[in-house]
Amino acid sequence: MTHSDHPPASSALPVDLDEAVHRCLVAGFDGTTGVPHTLKRLVDRGLGGVILFTRNIRDAEQVRRLTDELRAIRPDLLVAIDNEGGGIGHLVGAGAPEVPGSYALGVADDPHLTARCADALAGHLATLGITASYAPVADLQHTPRNPIVRTRAFGADPALAARHLRAWITATEARGIASCAKHFPGHGGTETDSHHGLAVDPRPQEELRADLEPFRAAVAAGVPMLMSAHVVYPAYDPNRPATLSRRILGDLLRYELGFEGVLVSDALEMKAIADEYGEAAGARIALAAGADQVIVAVPDLEVTLACRDAVSGALRSGVLTVDRVGEAAGRVRRLAERYATPASHVAAWDAGAGLEAARRAVRGRAVPPAVRGAHVVDLFPPPHPALNWGGEDLLTEVRAVDATATGTAVTGEPADPAAVVAAILRATGDAPLVVATCDAGLHPWQERLRAALLARRPDAVRVDTGLPEGGALCSYGRGRANLRAVAEVLTGQVRAER
C-alpha cells in the first residue's frame, strides 16, 4: 500500500465525504487484464468512473472480461470511452462498427441514418459492458485553421448540428448508454489544439451565440452529460478556460441552458490545464467552478491520486465547500443509477448503416471516370497522440475493390521529399496516379509533395480525405468506412454526389 492510498488519520475526511470526492474522479489506467491495486483502492472508495483507451483493448472478449472485473469491485462504477465514430475511437481491435465521422453524417444530412449509426456504436458498447460514451461532438467547425475539431463536428451550421445531435443522443439513450455532448461552449473557433496549449476563441458574444445552439439542442434532447472545453472565451470570462470558469459553467450552462446533468471536464493532463495550472489544481478549481467530474486520462494513477488529494485538501481547508462536492457527487450517483449496469440482452444493430452513410457523403467537384490499376499516394498526418488511429489507409481500401492497384502511404513529413517523389513516379510508371491528402492546409509538407507530383503528372486525380481542399473527390473523414466509400467511387463501383 502506498502512502497515497489513505490520507493520514488526523486529516481523513468522513467516509461519506471521502466517497463523494472519489465520485468526482474519472481515471485512466494501463493494461488489458487485471485491475491495478491502486485503481482497486480508488474504486473501493467510490471512484466515479474509468475511461478506456486503445491501450486497454485487445479484443471483444477481453474487454468484456475487464469491464466485468471492474464492476465486480463496485457495481455502480461507470465505464466510459471516447466513441465518436470515423477515425476517433478506440475499439477497432474489439470489432467496432465501421461508422463515418460526424462531418460525413452532416453532409449526408439524414438524421434517421445518423441514428442508425449511433445505434450501432451504442449497441456494440453494450455488448462490451461499456455504458458511457464521450460523444457526440457538438462543436461547430468554423475556422479553416482549427486543428482539432474538423471532421469530428457535424458541420458549421447550428441547425444541422442540432438535428443530428438529437438523433444521436436519442438513439444512444435507447440502448441504455450515456452520451456526452462536447466541448462546451464550443471548440470550433480556435486555432490551437487544447491538447497542446491554451486555446483562445476571441470572437464577441454575438458570434459565440451560434455555438451554443447545438448544446441547447442536446440539453433539450436529454443528454445526461456535457464535457467542457479547455478554451478561454474572453467575451465570457477573460481569465479562465471554460473548464475552470464559474461564469461559463454556472451562469451560461446551468442557468441559461438549464443543464442539470453531469458536467465532466476534458482530460486534465491536456497542456491547456496541466501547463497553466497543473492537474491537481485544475481538479480543485474545476469542481469549485461547477464541474461534477474531472477526467485524468493518463495511465499514471499517481496523477489521479494527486488530484484526489488536492480536492480533499481543499475541503479540509474550506477552499472547496462540502455542499459543492456533495452536489457533484449526487449528480454522478444519479447518472450511475441510470447507466452503470450493462443490459442483460443486446439486440442486433444495422451493420451496414455506416458504409451507407459514408457512400452518401462522398462528394465530387468534377467526378473522374473510373480509375483502375492506379498507383494511390496517400498523404496524411501521423496519429494524434490522444486520439485513436486504427491504421486505416486509402490504398488498402482501393485494393479491396481493385486488386490491380498499387500505392504508397506517407504519414508524416519525409526527410527527403524529392527522393519520395522520384520513387513514387518510378513506381507509378504509366499507370493512373491518385494523390490523396488530409488537411494539407495544416500540414504544408503534404501541399509540397502534392504540388511536386502534379507538376510531373497533371493528370493525377486529387482526393481529399479531410475537409474539402479542391480535390476531385472528398470523403469528409478518414474512418475505414469513409475510405472504402471513396475507393468505391474512384474505381467506378459507386457514383459520387455532386
Q: What is the CA radius of gyration of the chain?
A: 23
pLDDT of residue 1: 37
Q: Quote the cell numbers at residue 378.
A: 496517400
pLDDT of residue 11: 57
Edge-to-edge, what's the strand order for the sheet holding 262-267?
Answer: 132-133, 78-81, 49-52, 25-27, 293-296, 262-267, 225-228, 180-184
pLDDT of residue 356: 97
Q: Quote the cell numbers at residue 282.
A: 485544475
pLDDT of residue 250: 97
d(CA 262, CA 25): 12
Contacts with 171 (C-beta within 8 Å, 6 or more apart), sequence order: 114, 115, 116, 118, 119, 122
CB neighbour burial string for 306-322, b if at least 16 within 10 angstroms, e if fewer: bbbbbbbbbbeeeebee
Q: Is 176 left (phi over 0), alpha (psi -120 to 50) or beta?
A: left
Name the average pLDDT for the chain. Answer: 94
Which whole-number Å values give the CA distances from 4 to 106, 307, 314, 415, in the listed order?
47, 11, 16, 46
Question: What one-letter code names the amino acid at 143?
Answer: T
pLDDT of residue 386: 74
Cβ burial of 323 (10 Å; 0-12, 13-18, 19+) is exposed
Question: What one-letter code names the amino acid at 48?
Answer: G
d(CA 458, CA 280): 55
pLDDT of residue 366: 73
Which whole-number Å values give the CA distances from 421 to 371, 430, 443, in the listed order?
21, 15, 17
d(CA 302, CA 321): 24
Element (H, E) at 400: helix 394-401
Element (H, E) at 182: strand 180-184
pLDDT of residue 389: 65
Per-residue pLDDT of the chain (498 residues; tens, 9 = 90+): 344 454 443 357 888 999 999 999 999 999 999 999 999 999 999 999 999 999 999 999 999 999 999 999 999 999 999 999 998 889 999 999 999 999 999 999 999 999 999 999 999 999 999 999 999 999 999 999 999 999 999 999 999 999 999 999 999 999 999 999 999 999 999 999 999 999 999 999 999 999 999 999 999 999 999 999 999 999 999 999 999 999 999 999 999 999 999 999 999 999 999 999 999 999 999 999 999 999 999 999 999 999 999 999 999 999 999 999 999 999 999 999 999 999 889 999 999 999 999 999 999 877 678 899 999 999 999 877 777 667 789 999 999 999 999 999 999 999 999 999 999 999 999 999 999 999 999 999 999 999 999 999 999 999 999 999 999 999 999 999 999 999 999 999 877 665
Which whole-number Å values give the CA distances from 168 to 104, 179, 269, 306, in the listed order?
14, 9, 28, 36
Cβ burial of 385 (10 Å; 0-12, 13-18, 19+) is exposed
Other Cβ atoms within 10 Å of 255 Cβ, number: 10
Residue 104 C-alpha from the chain's centroid: 15
For residues 38 and 53, the answer to whether their CB atoms sit within 8 Å is no
pLDDT of residue 4: 46
pLDDT of residue 83: 95
d(CA 427, CA 122): 43
Give backbone dihedrals phi and psi of 183, rounded to 5 degrees, phi first. -120, 105
For strand 363-364 and strand 473-474, is the pairing parallel, antiparallel, or unpaired? antiparallel
Nearest one of 246, 235, 242 to 265, comparing CA atoms: 242
What's this model's pTM, rounded to 2 decimal places?
A: 0.95
pLDDT per residue as tens digits for the range 355-397: 999 999 999 877 678 899 999 999 999 877 777 667 789 999 9
d(CA 305, CA 182): 25
**Which residue numbers are catalytic?**
195, 266
